[in-house]
Structure 1
Amino acid sequence: MTADTPQFSRLARLSDVLDETDARLRRGEAATQAPWSTGFMPLDSYLSGGLRPGELILLGGPQGMGKTTFALQIARQAIAGGHAVLYVSYEHDSVNLLERLVAAEAGERAGVDAVPLRSVRALLEGDGTSMSLSDKLAETPGGAEALAAVSVGLDRLHVLRGGVDTSVTDIEAAVREVARTGGLRPLVVVDYVQKIAMEGERAVDEERRMAHVAGGLKDLALTESVPVLAISASDAAGISEGKRLRTQNLRGASSLAYEADVVLVLNEKYDVVARHHLVYGAANVERFHQFAVLTIEKNRGGMAGVDLEFRKRFEQARYERAGELVTEQLVDARLFVE
């Protein structure tokens, strides 16, 4: 544990815990670890401040729903808060993650007119000129400012490129290496959990494999006292158009949901809003397409069953961080409406 991490022995009398807690508070120290802000409001409020060390947080959603986008913005917020991040990427290479971070930062700083992701990507792919990235971005709206902002603390963002044999043991070793070299225990982001290799026996069904992996991630969160944010893919039944994806539609759902302290699920608002909002409010159709609904399906530390909406800005690889409670009626499935 780091020097500033409160920790008691495995076996302790609660009276001793109270005495130690009081002593820490009298010294002006924290008696427990504060949550790490996600940067999304009012999500932080419903999570009692954000993501907590020792917890496993599951983020699910249909393909193309911006799960990586959402996770990267949480990672960026952790860096801005002085924390370290270990991003375990089975899906995207390091340059792709950098492109997304720059585009999202530009959007947050310069608004919807800022340089889009496709332009940032084109610059990194090369345009035949011998200019630095900062010089190239200086000619784009918000690009130079975004690169300067992203560069601050970027040495605390570590990427572990996952492969077919990358297991929870490998992730744990990377966490310890990050802590050893930088002195900070990181937020761990796994993109995505179904790609984690299982040590030993391979020929097992999905549920058993996910039980092993989810249990390992939860143990990692507790042992290393870090928050673990794991992105989850959906099963075939959870990707049908017009159907609301729920926890039970995630691959290996029962094992994942059992181990997770928090389960967050993203859905396209248009796909889950009740039909009468579309029939009697045709002007709403386009607006609903612009929003995602984030549902807190499980929350051991606070309220669950909460539906929040966030505006999508996928052209800039981001969500708007200020969201609202959903006011419309939502359904698990709806009749198709044009």
Structure 2
Amino acid sequence: MPTAPPHTFPAEGRVRLPYTCLHTMTPFLEEGSITTIASPTGEGKTTFALDLVRYAAAAGHRTLYLHSSQSEDGIRVRLLAAEAEVSNTQIRTNDLTQQDQERLDQARQTIDMWPLHLSHQSTWTLEDIKNEAERNDYELIVVDDTDQVRIPGAPLAERFARLSAGLRDIVAGESTVLVAVAQLDPPTEHTGGFTAAERLRQLGHRYALAQDSELVILTSLDKVVPFRGGSGLRLSMQVAKNRQGATGSVEVQAEMHFCRCVDLTEEETDPDPWPESLSI
């Protein structure tokens, strides 16, 4: 089975993306940058975001994860499952072997040592996000469920423009990387009928946040079938560099009930990069 890459980061301290294939395409999340992760419901965006959080915090980067759709307990279970290499279900039902329990105890001690702060509110405002960001000198801030951020007094058409401007203001002049997770649900058509290019254009049309991001990553379940080990699904990541560099796609394996991702081996996939960059 493929293994996750070691938690190594460049000397200059910039946050590195997990997975060898993705890092090769887009080497660093630059200081002061915004990255958008988007997909329809249940297509792996939070899984990828949590893997990035886990990867960065384990390497010593001061990390903040803001979320609303899941409880803080639910997020901790997912992080524990990933670090201990057991499934979320096993933890929740206490269906653990002695070896599983030992790994879980070790994972809990490890996570408690990370410079990671999890913060949950049912509804966030831009002011809430700014206040949380100012509590520490964070190197990575992940804002999940950005489509649920409340913008008081803003018409629907202006919400994401205001959100984009507000998040950009948080990282302006700072050594912080901000990752925004956005839901992309076409209102009338089945998501499976959309090509990657169409999804990106729709994202750019609906969310000013994507247009203002240096990097856009779309996640989707490429093949909803178990791998030969029976423990994971294939997660496709379609990458667009808005400002510079190549656009392309990579694939990783979502393991153990979506609690972590690992690189796919060469014999399992041979991803074809898009022939040209996509402007959104």
Q: How far is the alpha carbon of 1:218 from its aligned partner?
A: 1.6
Match of 1:249 among 202, 218, 233: 202
Q: How far is the alpha carbon of 1:194 from its aligned partner?
A: 0.7
Q: How far is the alpha carbon of 1:307 from its aligned partner?
A: 0.9
Contact kept in structure 1, 2:32 and 2:173, CA below 8 Å: yes
What is the alpha-carbon distance in structure 2 between the residues aligned to residue 92 and residue 315 of structure 1?
A: 16
- Higher mean C-alpha deviation, range 290-299 or range 71-80: 290-299
Contact kept in structure 2, 1:233 and 1:251, CA below 8 Å: no
Partner of 2:79: 101
The CA deviation string for residues 165-223 of structure 1, in whole angstroms up to 9 with x for no partner, is x22221121111133xxxxx241111111111214x23x024x1100001111221224
What is the alpha-carbon distance in structure 1 between the residues aligned to residue 184 and residue 258 of structure 2?
A: 25
What is the alpha-carbon distance in structure 2 between the residues aligned to residue 314 and residue 243 of structure 1?
A: 27
Structure 2, gaps ≥5 residues long: 1-10, 275-280
Q: How far is the alpha carbon of 1:267 from its aligned partner?
A: 1.9
Partner of 1:121: 92
Mapping of residues 1-338 of structure 1, within 5 Å: 33-48=12-27, 50-107=28-85, 115-123=86-94, 139-152=97-110, 154=112, 156-164=115-123, 166-179=124-137, 185-199=138-152, 201-202=153-154, 204-206=155-157, 208-237=158-187, 239-244=190-195, 246-250=199-203, 253-270=206-223, 290-304=233-247, 306-315=248-257, 317-321=259-263, 326-327=270-271
What is the alpha-carbon distance in structure 1 between the residues aligned to residue 57 and residue 173 of structure 2?
A: 22
Q: How far is the alpha carbon of 1:140 from its aligned partner?
A: 4.6
What is the alpha-carbon distance in structure 2 between the residues aligned to residue 39 and residue 116 of structure 1?
A: 20
Q: RMSD over aligned Cα, in angstroms? A: 2.9
What is the alpha-carbon distance in structure 2 between the residues aligned to residue 71 and residue 87 of structure 1?
A: 9
What is the alpha-carbon distance in structure 2 between the residues aligned to residue 153 and residue 216 of structure 1?
A: 30
Q: In structure 2, what residue type is equivalent to 1:74?
A: L
Give the structure with the larger strand fraction.
2
Closer, same or farther in 2 for the Cα pair 1:143/1:37, shift >3 Å? Answer: farther
The CA deviation string for residues 212-240 of structure 1, in whole angstroms up to 9 with x for no partner, is 00111122122432111111101324753
Give the structure with the larger helix fraction.
1
Q: In structure 2, what residue type is equivalent to 1:211?
A: A
Contact kept in structure 2, 1:266 and 1:295, CA below 8 Å: yes
Contact kept in structure 2, 1:47 and 1:299, CA below 8 Å: no
TM-score, normalising length from structure 2? Answer: 0.79
What is the alpha-carbon distance in structure 1 between the residues aligned to residue 256 and residue 40 of structure 2?
A: 15
| Alignment size in residue pairs | 255
What is the alpha-carbon distance in structure 1 between the residues aligned to residue 88 and residue 46 of structure 2?
A: 14
Q: Secondary structure at the match of 2:31?
A: coil
Q: In structure 2, what residue type is equivalent to 1:73?
A: D
Q: Secondary structure at the match of 1:256?
A: helix
Contact kept in structure 2, 1:235 and 1:250, CA below 8 Å: no
Contact kept in structure 1, 2:240 and 2:246, CA below 8 Å: no
Q: How far is the alpha carbon of 1:74 from its aligned partner?
A: 0.6
Partner of 1:112: none
- Identity between Structure 1 and Structure 2 (%): 24
Closer, same or farther in 2 for the Cα pair 1:45/1:148, shift >3 Å? Answer: same
Contact kept in structure 2, 1:79 and 1:157, CA below 8 Å: yes
Q: How far is the alpha carbon of 1:67 from its aligned partner?
A: 1.2
What is the alpha-carbon distance in structure 2 between the residues aligned to residue 63 and residue 177 of structure 1?
A: 31
Contact kept in structure 2, 1:262 and 1:298, CA below 8 Å: yes
Q: Secondary structure at the match of 1:315?
A: coil
Closer, same or farther in 2 for the Cα pair 1:168/1:323, shift >3 Å? Answer: farther
Q: Secondary structure at the match of 2:172?
A: helix
TM-score, normalising length from structure 1? Answer: 0.67
